[in-house]
């Protein structure tokens, strides 16, 4: 089951053509994943404080299918599509009504909060990821 979150496009997020500036989609992805962790684990900071790990983005990408505009309500769905030993992949879709605007992904690597070296995904985080 995908996690969903809705955002409204603000004027400052638009470019000279009055559409969402392409780089801002990655900002939106980050907001959606922050809310994902709040929903699933009580917040991203719990990874560090309770499990001694951080997550870093190893790779990201997007395919632009349409344009978001000022004041649009955009629905995001995030789905965990792969969980490895120390990494995971989230795929995100952004829609306005029936229109697909953007498809993207984020590859995360879990790292030890002290050494910043890859580390296995903690059991509690793995359980939260398995809810999809």
| Domains assigned to the chain | 3-129 (3.10.129.10)
List the beta strands (DSSP E) in 21-70.
53-64
Label residue 90 by pLDDT band (50, 70, 90).
very high
pLDDT tens, position by position, 4-51: 999 999 999 999 999 999 999 999 999 999 999 999 989 989 999 999
Q: Tell which phi-psi region holds residue 63, choosing left (phi > 0), alpha (psi between -120 and 50) or beta.
A: beta
Give percent helix, percent strand, percent coil of the chain, each to the nearest 5. Answer: 25, 45, 30
Label residue 131 by pLDDT band (50, 70, 90).
low
For residue 100, count other CB atoms closer than 10 A to its CB. 13
């Amino acid at each position: 089951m995908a996690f969903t979150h809705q955002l409204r496009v603000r004027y400052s997020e638009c470019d000279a053509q009055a559409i969402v500036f392409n780089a801002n989609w990655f900002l939106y992805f980050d907001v959606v994943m922050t809310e994902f962790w709040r929903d699933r684990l009580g917040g991203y900071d719990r990874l560090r404080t309770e499990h001694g790990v951080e997550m870093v983005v190893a790779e990201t990408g997007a395919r632009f299918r349409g344009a978001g505009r000022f004041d649009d309500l955009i629905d995001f769905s995030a789905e965990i599509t792969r969980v490895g030993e120390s990494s995971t992949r989230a795929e995100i879709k952004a829609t306005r009504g029936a229109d697909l605007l953007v498809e993207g992904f984020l590859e995360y690597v879990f790292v030890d909060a002290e050494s910043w070296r890859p580390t296995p995904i903690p059991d509690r985080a793995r359980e939260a990821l398995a809810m999809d």
